[in-house]
Amino acid sequence: FFFFFFVLASHVMCVCVFLMAAFACLACCLDVLNTEATSITDCVRFLICCLRIRILLTLLLHVSVATQAYELFLCRISQFGDVMKPFVHIRRTPCEGTNKTHKPSPKTSAAEGPNVTFVVSVRHADNFAYLIIDDKSHTAAVVDPADADAVKTALIAHKAKLTAILTTHRHADHSGGNHALLKAFPSTPVYGGLGVPGLTEAVGQGDVITVGRLQFQVMSCPGHTVESVVFVLSAPSRVPSVFCGDVLFVGGSGKFFEGAPAVMFDSLAKLAVLNPATLVWPGHEYALGNLRFAATIEPQNERVHAQLRRAYDAAKHNTAFVPSTVAEELVSNLFLKASAEPSSDAAIAELGRLRKLKDAF
């Protein structure tokens, strides 16, 4: 009710201002038309009237533009609830291969046990950033912080201290929050490939990043971009996790913007040989579209259809469809399946064919 009253009152106010300006402009026009320049004083009066007309016409233009902008603003407010719903979606998942979802809490629940390393997925539209938090030291690393404010909100909710920024590639929807986080946490190192905004430590194949008890092994995976890397997390007594950026999605892979199919084939092949239990944390929520495509290519693949049903259910309830596992992706992700084959011209050509089909899907 209050929102409706606010919108109505705002529109009435804009209309009133517009009408007042229009009437004032009309009065000036009539004044000018009735003016007979018979002396210097009359000439000055005539010029003043012309100036008033110019000012009022400018005011009319500004009111018109402001009204349109204001209506757009009100439209955005009316969508506020829908916008904010995916804006900061926080999911807390222990790194132990379970699918338990926990509400944001700064404390460790009894079900998780003490000193649990866990992942917080911070969702902004269809993008994912990930906080990896060590409950023992309360230190955290963030992967692909596109939205700095959303990451800060998650850090506060979990009383964690940011000690590292890991960026899979330079695109703004993965690195857009780097500079803002550096401003808020000036001494925080930024790891990634060359060209990443705010980069302080360039990393590549085989490098290891240590954050508290956590270790991230870097794998160079070009194809989407030339500098793309993924981070494989190892933590004490926990199933490993891989943070893929745009190299691997649930049910799909990123576009080959800066690499031929052979380049992406080699990158995906590295992920295909990871521990099958490894949790897969992609950079985007593209599962539904990817699996719908996969179902058209392999209509008899029951694992694809099972994943597709789960993706539809997740979308229905506005929940994130992460994480997956390497084992699951090897049977339901056509791109990873193709890259798990021995390297050959035929296998590479098949990967390229799938990419073209998916781009046109």
- Is 271 in a helix, a strand, or coil? helix
Report the distance separating Cα 79 and Cα 65, nearest Å: 21
Q: Is 224 a known active-site residue?
A: yes
Report the distance separating Cα 75 and Cα 325, nearest Å: 40
The two three-digit tokens of residue 233, written as one number? 């997390």
Cis peptide before 323 (omega within 30 of 0): yes
- Is 96 in a helix, a strand, or coil? coil
Helix axes 302-316, 287-297, angle to 10 degrees: 150
Report the distance separating Cα 284 and Cα 282, nearest Å: 6
The two three-digit tokens of residue 323, written as one number? 């994480």
**For the chain, how big is the Rg over CA atoms in Å?**
28
From the candidates 62, 147, 174, 305, which is the catalytic residue?
A: 174
Q: Is 174 a known active-site residue?
A: yes
From the candidates 31, 173, 207, 266, which is the catalytic residue?
A: 173
CB count in 10 Å sphere of residue 97: 15
From the candidates 224, 305, 317, 345, which is the catalytic residue?
A: 224
Report the distance separating Cα 182 and Cα 233, nearest Å: 23
- Is 265 in a helix, a strand, or coil? helix
From the candidates 147, 169, 179, 345, which is the catalytic residue?
A: 169
Q: Is 124 a known active-site residue?
A: no
- Partners of 232 in beta bridges: 217, 242
- Is 63 in a helix, a strand, or coil? helix
Report the distance separating Cα 93 and Cα 121, nearest Å: 8
The two three-digit tokens of residue 320, written as one number? 């994130």
Report the distance separating Cα 219 and Cα 269, nearest Å: 11
Q: Which DSSP symbol is given to 343?
A: P
Q: Is 284 a known active-site residue?
A: yes
Q: Which DSSP symbol is given to 113?
A: -
Query: Is the Cβ–Cβ distance between 219 and 230 less than 8 Å?
Result: yes
Report the distance separating Cα 230 and Cα 75, nearest Å: 39
The residues carrying an active-site annotation are: 169, 171, 173-174, 224, 246, 284
